[in-house]
Structures are given as structure tokens and as C-alpha cells.
């Protein structure tokens, strides 16, 4: 499961208290998403959508249009 939020720390605090889930930043993920575990089993991650990041070499449709119009 991928939980996309704008407040990862607030979401982690709430879900930890409400459901007993554990949260930790996944250092191996290029987005540095927060992984969610229950009793050591990974069940998902929390992605920070307040500062969206994109993979290298990928461009948004707006960037593509800008390149076309600038040419």
C-alpha cells in the first residue's frame, strides 16, 4: 500500500497511535519514502506529496510543452 500525504510525520504519528504501525525512512528508496511495518513485516510506505520528486530523465507534460513552444 502506498499512502500519499502532505504531512508524513503527522500521518505516521496518527497511524502509529491508532493502529500500532511502525514508521521509518527507507534510505534505499530514491524518494526517501517512509516505510510502514507491523511486527517487522513491511506493509507499505508513506510518500511525501508536499514536495513531489521525479525520477531522473522523466519530464512532466508541462515541461514537454514548454520545450516545444520554446523551439
What is the per-residue pLDDT for 52? 63
Distance between CA atoms of residues 65 and 38, nearest Å: 44
Distance between CA atoms of residues 52 and 59, nearest Å: 13
Is residue 69 within 8 Å of 51, Cβ to Cβ? no
What is the per-residue pLDDT for 55? 58
- Domain holding 45, by residue range, is 2-70
Lowest mean pLDDT among 36-45, 48-57, 61-70: 48-57
Q: How many domains does the chain have?
A: 1
Nearest to 44 by CA among 31, 57, 54, 34: 34
Q: Where are the beta strands (DSSP E) in the chain?
A: 2-5, 22-25, 34-38, 41-48
pTM for this predicted structure:
0.61
Q: Is the pLDDT of residue 33 over 80?
A: no
Amino acid at each position: 500500500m502506498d499512502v500519499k500525504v502532505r504531512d508524513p510525520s503527522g500521518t505516521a504519528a496518527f497511524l502509529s497511535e491508532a493502529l500500532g504501525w511502525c514508521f521509518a525512512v527507507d534510505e534505499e528508496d530514491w524518494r526517501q519514502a517512509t516505510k510502514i511495518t507491523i511486527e517487522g513485516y513491511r506493509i507499505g510506505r508513506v510518500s511525501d506529496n508536499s514536495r513531489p520528486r521525479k525520477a531522473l530523465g522523466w519530464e512532466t507534460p508541462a515541461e514537454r510543452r514548454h520545450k516545444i513552444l520554446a523551439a
